[in-house]
Amino acid sequence: MEFLPLFTQLHGKPCLLLGGGQVALRKARLLSRAGAVIQLVAKEILPELAALVKENGGNSQLGEFDESQLEHVFLVIAATDDEPLNKRVSEACHQRLIPVNVVDSPDLCSVILPAIVDRSPLIIAISSGGRSPVLARMMRSRLESSIPASFGRLGNLASKFRDAVKAKFADIEDRRHFWERTLQGPIAEMVFAGKDTVAEQMLSKEIAEASPETGGEVYLIGAGPGDPDLMTFKALRLLQKADIVLYDRLVAPEIVEMCRKDAERVFVGKQRSNHAVPQEGINQLLIDYAKQGKKVARLKGGDPFIFGRGGEEIEQLAQEHIPFQVVPGITAAAGCASYAGIPLTHRDYAQSVRFVTGHLKDNSINLPWSELIHDHQTTVFYMGLVGLPVICEQLIAHGRSPDTPIALIQQGTTVNQKVVVGTLATMVERIANDPVQAPTLIIVGDVVKLRETLAWYEVRDLAEPDL
Ligand code: SAH
């Protein structure tokens, strides 16, 4: 981190502003909004700028910069187009340890002014460390359009009742839960609808009637196949509410990073035949944490109900009457197929799709093979990499053509995605020379041929279809 974001209280503090043109005017407006007392020095000063400075209790001085002007100033902004002067100002400030900002010269700055989304008292500051102000501004416009203008009023309401809530809930966790409920619920909606007085009445009633939450809750969250952008809004929202996060190997580290910074993270493993915590242990952990009153997020790769044992995890929660929510996720079949350019169904090639598990038990896979050999059906095998030879052999033995196309998608949707295409007859040999690692998804069916035209964004030589 090159710069630490800090929010500075400037009310009544003397700030030196050098420069008298348009850029200085913009900085003067910003400083005035923050309540600073501006001491302006420039050879020429726009009348509008001089008026603004005067209006806010500051003073303007026509003339040159000299180091005596740095006595008793809290912050210095150099907004001149005189580069040697900017450099001199910067050096003088650095020597005296006075924070200095030189417009458009990040190298001369000890502080930089971020792009701001102002929903006072909520303020969002965005910075690219001076490297790409355009990127910072783009991010600002995104936030501007997605945060309701009335967010600030919601902040004011919260601040009005802060002490009352503190008095009601001695425990800091209880307070946090109370505010999380309130700032996302009907009271917030009232503020957004402009009915602040009603919101205020509702909030005092809520505080009077509220009791500390005792029971915990579990969120069984489908985190998608890998690319963090494939999480749902709901998944993200609940993940950020959680006090504790249980995750396994299939969940991308970037996704785990999206939890609250103070949330506890627990790795519960799950690698083929190497479970860090066995399934029963995970089920029990969920119950134990929830009983301690915690909000527990159980992050699962893909969708929790597709080969995710999600059903087992919530069965016990239901028996224990622990509240839970299940958040669906994009399953590996959907994610890998899209990112590999293979539509799972297509009017000309496949009218149905089946998801099956290719997990080996005693070196065999117990599947209804005769149902998986139809020409116009796509079959997707999860957990099928180890059993690949058995899968290819059995499909052919039961009557599927040896020329049927098959795709292996390793770490689909991630930056490490690798796709290998072949036929039922050739695939085992192909990956003997070009190994593929878990997690890998297998897609069998004529739809795989479409990849040639649809996977326009991938490096061609990863796949050499000999179909
Ligand atoms: N609940 C998950 C599946 C868990 S089973 C879901 O809905 O996606 C684990 C298997 O899913 C892996 O063996 C692999 O076959 C497949 N899988 C999961 N993520 C994958 C990915 N990013 N790329 C390829 N296969 C993946």
270, 294, 295, 449: the active-site residue: 270
**What pLDDT was estimated at residue 189?**
85
Alpha carbon distance 156, 188 (integer Å)? 12
Cβ(154)–Cβ(191) under 8 Å? yes
- The question of whether 166 is a catalytic residue gets the answer no
Return the ligand 1 atom nearest residue 332 CA: 8
**What pLDDT was estimated at residue 231?**
94
Cβ(377)–Cβ(352) under 8 Å? yes
Letter string b/e over residues 62-98, b meaning 16 or more CB atoms within 10 A of that residue's CB: eeebeeebbeebbbbbbbbeeeebbebbbebbeeeeb
Phi, psi of 341 (to 5 degrees): 70, 35
Q: Which residue's CA is minimally distant from atom 6 of ligand 1?
A: 302
Phi, psi of 361 (to 5 degrees): -130, 120
Return the ligand 1 atom nearest residue 272 CA: 13
* Average confidence (pLDDT) per 10 residues, the chain, 467 residues: 91 97 96 96 96 95 95 96 95 97 93 90 89 87 84 90 90 84 84 89 88 80 95 91 91 92 86 65 92 92 93 89 94 97 95 93 85 96 95 96 97 94 96 93 97 66 47
DSSP code of residue 114: P
**Mutation choice for ligand 1 from 441, 442, 443, 444, CB with most ligand atoms inside 8 A:** 441
- The question of whether 418 is a catalytic residue gets the answer no
Q: Who lines ligand 1 at CB under 6 A?
A: 225-226, 250, 300-303, 306-308, 331-332, 336, 382-383, 409, 411-413, 438-441
**What pLDDT was estimated at residue 459?**
44
**What pLDDT was estimated at residue 466?**
46
Q: Which residue's CA is minimally distant from atom 2 of ligand 1?
A: 302
Return the ligand 1 atom nearest residue 413 CA: 22
**What pLDDT was estimated at residue 22?**
95
Hey, what long-range contacts does 273-276 have (CB within 8 A, 24 or more apart)?
Answer: 276/248
174, 227, 248, 446: the active-site residue: 248
**What pLDDT was estimated at residue 3?**
87
Burial class (CB in 10 A: 0-12, 13-18, 19+), 134: exposed
Q: Which of 127, 129, 149, 130 is nearest to 139 (CA)?
A: 127
Q: What is the pTM of this model?
A: 0.66
Tokens in use for 99? 């924070």
